Structure 1
């Protein structure tokens, strides 16, 4: 789909070729370095005019357009049209036309803009009078130098005057005109259309202009670069609450730019999304391919991730999920520990309980009571798993932490899994206390330590905190630091 181009026209967006063949900027009224006469004065002199304002000068050229059309060229927007006209469906040129009592009226660009419109129509067959429009600032008293007034003007204009089809690309060049008009165009346009807007930025090239060649430009580039500071803060705030999905969606337009310098950030955000979903193996695979993290063996490391996910859910005040994740971290760990520790005796099932064969009783005779009749296998339910754990790792038998897991935490997990409603944070802590009626867990730190102690006993690790044990915690810190350090090139030379 072809684009819509919106361009602000300033006093220096038009060049004129004098009789000598040299080109001068009609609106540049500054005196030239080391010379007596400025560019605008050169044009006025060449035309045989005297004491004439910019507004009147451009009206004179417009009134005599048939005579001068071949000696006029847009200095700022010229190359954008020369190189991209075939990709443009409609053009909106923004001109100033202020009330008679306004001092800056003498520098209004209404006639300049009419000249540029005629230049466009004459040069490009696909851009005719019907699809090249002029919109005027100032006729209603709006001050082009007042940001708030211009912001309101642009909001109304985007909504009522500029017609854009769904999904149509929007190109904007706001180099012409005063800075307040340009900034209001950017902010209001980005608020209205977001990452659909692409910007051109023009770098003045005086030597080329003197030869009748319009200035160079960059773009079109993503308009949201102008709002990077704001976007950066929003992304960091989302990540503070571990909302990786929203953070990725917010930053994705930046990732899609050619020459993006975000490095591993996109993949690490994707990894964070997987971690939030509990897809820890996929998380690890993507994270390892994008950055250096601690190496892991086997699969028991995932218990730490599941437990830390419970910690994050508690921070997010998702207390029911925090309870379920924390319990599941240990329960799931024990099943995998049993299967990994006794591979000849265990049979993992995709559906239902794992099975253990009777040969396990040769090592642990206390388990014989789980095999009844002629059955050679037994369902590994919680009771069997508890007895096996106590036999294989005797320290767990007298562990206060495991006593809470097998009793109060198990009861609370079952209760909340089968009933509607939520629970308070203190209910989570109470559930992990060794005695519900006399809770010994009253803070998040104590709760985390209880879960960590259980996991460390089984994995034979010695982590001091769940954050230390979690691979995701390492990644999270890297993502935050990378986004905090990230800088976006702002192509606006006035910034």
Structure 2
């Protein structure tokens, strides 16, 4: 079964002449009903591009009194083009959406010609149906009224209209007891809110069975568009919003529902998107080991940077920035402090490789600074070890305050004293971080900035990148420039845009 769903609007039914209009109006009982209106409902609008137009409510009432006479002089610009496009498609049923906002605009609110009430197509439904019977004599007509209730917004309200359209569409389909092969949707008539709602509702309900009938107002031509093209255009906005939030799992979910055989297709563009998304999801999970393994396979990656001991620290720092942009302050605090402490840990493992021993097999990742070859270390480091070692084991567990104090002991005194950023993080930030993560309490942006002794996001990020540069010896100006994920993100956006 093939169905055509057609929306109707105020400009979709027009007069081809004004010669008989006044006579029709004078003979119609409508004149008496409209006598007390402060505007002239007989007023005809005409421009060079369109025939004669009168308020649809008034035209509909006049038409109902003398349908045979009036119908001959009615023009249906959009529907005429749509009918020409669809008349060989064996349309079985036609769902006509008409509008009625009488509950929203009671009599006291109808005293202006611009009131949406006068633009409703409810009273012209039979005219639409009679006209369409010329091309679709065997089709069954189903009228559905878009009828907002008293106290609800009108049909230009996007949220409310979507609910009304969904309900009308459900009611219409319940009247059809056969399987649907194709449902043709012409949605350009009516308010923008109705047009958008019809697109969303039909795609959600019928998916790939939908074909859109669209008209080009400039060359007066029509064409059919597969639902997949519309889905891409609609979903692209959602995808871009998810990309801006770095919600890569959400992007994957949408794409996998749109692209056939998502996981197995060998189409180059899809494979590229799939690969980039996999990398992005690993980064979002802070799985920098697997992230590194994946990006190393790509030719454009800076291999030298990714193999430096300090590289993952900048990625963790940039992840903190992204988390703050997402409004996740707790994770921003976690990843920002973790990026500094974790980078210091990597520095210690790199710089003191000969002095590092690891814990028992039950805790294989806990490093100890052992007294092995301690005799060859500078005095400051020897003093640090003697102050912090366990007398029995002759080693120092490397985490928390011990890491920061080792970094201080290993750094030239003048450099440590000149860098207020690393001093703040080693002292106040570290203590505040411990306090925050040992308490069940909320965390706002101001708490994060206070912990880092900064006033705003810019100051917080500047202090974070300064600390990472101090540890690594690099000179990055921002975490975005230091992160390889920032480049992956842009390539993912480009790959999705080029595929669509």
**TM (normalized to structure 2)?**
0.59
Residue 149 (structure 2) aligns with: none
Q: Is the alpha carbon distance of 1:279 and 1:196 closer, same or farther for their aligned partners in structure 2, counting shifts above 3 Å?
A: farther
1:7–1:172 Cα contact (<8 Å) kept: yes
Alignment of 1:414-425 (within 5 A): 414-425=434-445
Alignment counterpart, residue 371 of structure 2, candidates 336, 339, 358: 358
In the TM superposition, what is the alpha-carbon distance from 1:245 to its structure 2 partner?
A: 1.9
Moved more, 322-331 or 293-302: 293-302
Q: Is the alpha carbon distance of 1:99 and 1:431 closer, same or farther for their aligned partners in structure 2, counting shifts above 3 Å?
A: closer
Residue 191 (structure 1) aligns with: 201
State yes or no: 1:450 paired with 2:463: yes
SS at match of 1:156: helix
The CA deviation string for residues 344-392 of structure 1, in whole angstroms up to 9 with x for no partner, is 2213454674222212532132112333434243322434323322233
Moved more, 345-354 or 318-327: 345-354
Alignment counterpart, residue 498 of structure 2, candidates 467, 473, 486: 486
Alignment of 1:6-405 (within 5 A): 6-8=2-4, 93-95=92-94, 99=126, 103-111=130-138, 136-138=141-143, 155-157=169-171, 160-161=174-175, 171-172=181-182, 174=184, 188=198, 191=201, 194=204, 197-199=207-209, 223-256=227-260, 261-262=269-270, 264-289=272-297, 292-295=300-303, 296-349=306-359, 350=363, 353-362=366-375, 363=377, 364-366=381-383, 367-394=385-412, 397-398=416-417, 399-405=419-425
In the TM superposition, what is the alpha-carbon distance from 1:102 to its structure 2 partner?
A: 5.0
The CA deviation string for residues 442-480 of structure 1, in whole angstroms up to 9 with x for no partner, is 222222121112211222211111111011111222223
The CA deviation string for residues 134-190 of structure 1, in whole angstroms up to 9 with x for no partner, is x6335x799xxxxx999679613565245799xxxx752539x99869x99997475
2:5–2:94 Cα contact (<8 Å) kept: yes
1:255–1:266 Cα contact (<8 Å) kept: no
Q: Is the alpha carbon distance of 1:339 and 1:202 closer, same or farther for their aligned partners in structure 2, counting shifts above 3 Å?
A: closer
SS at match of 2:369: strand
Q: Is the alpha carbon distance of 1:404 and 1:202 closer, same or farther for their aligned partners in structure 2, counting shifts above 3 Å?
A: closer
Q: Is the alpha carbon distance of 1:461 and 1:96 closer, same or farther for their aligned partners in structure 2, counting shifts above 3 Å?
A: closer
State the alpha-carbon separation in 1 of the partners of residues 184 and 459 from structure 2. Answer: 58
SS at match of 2:372: helix
In the TM superposition, what is the alpha-carbon distance from 1:327 to its structure 2 partner?
A: 0.6
Structure 2: 5+ residue runs without aligned partners?
A: 7-85, 97-124, 147-160, 214-223
Alignment counterpart, residue 450 of structure 2, candidates 421, 430, 433: 430
State the alpha-carbon separation in 2 of the partners of residues 156 and 463 from structure 1. Answer: 58
In the TM superposition, what is the alpha-carbon distance from 1:251 to its structure 2 partner?
A: 2.6
In the TM superposition, what is the alpha-carbon distance from 1:260 to its structure 2 partner?
A: 8.1
Q: Is the alpha carbon distance of 1:95 and 1:471 closer, same or farther for their aligned partners in structure 2, counting shifts above 3 Å?
A: same
Residue 11 (structure 2) aligns with: none
State the alpha-carbon separation in 1 of the partners of residues 145 and 406 from structure 2. Answer: 85
In the TM superposition, what is the alpha-carbon distance from 1:420 to its structure 2 partner?
A: 1.3
Q: Is the alpha carbon distance of 1:185 and 1:313 closer, same or farther for their aligned partners in structure 2, counting shifts above 3 Å?
A: closer
State the alpha-carbon separation in 2 of the partners of residues 99 and 400 from structure 1. Answer: 80
Q: How many residues align?
A: 353
The CA deviation string for residues 226-255 of structure 1, in whole angstroms up to 9 with x for no partner, is 132222122112222222222222232233
2:4–2:95 Cα contact (<8 Å) kept: no
Root-mean-square deviation (CA, aligned residues, Å) is 4.3
Residue 50 (structure 2) aligns with: none
Residue 82 (structure 1) aligns with: none
Q: Is the alpha carbon distance of 1:425 and 1:105 closer, same or farther for their aligned partners in structure 2, counting shifts above 3 Å?
A: closer
Q: Is the alpha carbon distance of 1:173 and 1:361 closer, same or farther for their aligned partners in structure 2, counting shifts above 3 Å?
A: same
